[in-house]
Each structure stands twice: as C-alpha cells, then as structure tokens.
Amino acid sequence: MKTDSSMTYLQAGFKLDCYMEQIQKIKDKYGDEVYLHFEWVRSGGEISPNSLPVVRFESEERLYEIIHYCESIGVKIFDPHTWVLDHGGRGEVGSMERKKRENDPRGLLNPGKIIYEM
C-alpha cells in the first residue's frame, strides 16, 4: 500500500471449515483486484483464519460491493473505513450496542460513534 496509493485494505474473518472454498470464490470473482494476507489467530481456544484483504480501490461503491459479496459467502468483514463503531462489524450483531448500554448508560462517551436508540 505504501508503493501503490490506489490500494486499501479490509479486515476479514473466514470460517475454519470452509476457508479454502471462500478464498477460491473471492479469487474467482475478483482475481488480482483482491489480495489475501492470512493470519491464524487463537480465540477462545480455537484456531481462526483471519485475513487482511488488500483491495485495489476503484470507488466506494465497488469496495462495498466486494464487502457485500464476501459477507454473502460467509466471510465476516470488519470495516476499517468507518468512524461509526457499530458499522465496523466487530463481533456479533448488536454487541457494540449492548456494551455501550452496559458501560455508558447515559450516553456520555464518544457520542455519535455508536448509533442506537437510548
């Protein structure tokens, strides 16, 4: 990315039981538009295949098309391109909102970073 400013990245979690199929689907659809750098992480005692997909940036629409495709084949995408934390995809759906309610019931910390009804 330092040598080619048209590249950006995502953060992705693949499924251990089918990550090779997920990789093949992404490569078949996007070829050299998406490069996959893998890291293996132990989480809760289990190994998890994670990736930092490096993406040739054409437009925001194209980037989110790639994100939606990955999600449609079971790859969890954590979007580093948003300042709204709950749009980043970290954890299960609604987990950011639950943590926010538990730890900040009056909505004083980082206003506007998590969008939900108080």
Q: What is the pLDDT of residues 24-79, one digit of tens each?
A: 999 999 999 999 999 999 878 889 999 999 999 999 999 999 999 999 999 999 88
Are 100 and 116 spatial neighbours (Cβ–Cβ below 8 Å)?
yes
Q: Is 75 within 8 Å of 14 (Cβ atoms)?
A: yes
* pLDDT classification of 94: cutoffs 50, 70, 90: low
| Higher pLDDT among residues 82 and 89, named by residue | 82
Token pair recorded at residue 116: 């939900």
Residue 2 has a pLDDT of: 75
The listed range with the strongest mean pLDDT (4-8, 42-46, 78-82, 113-117) is 4-8
CA-to-CA separations, 6 to 1, 2, 28, 41, 58, in angstroms, rounded: 8, 10, 21, 28, 8
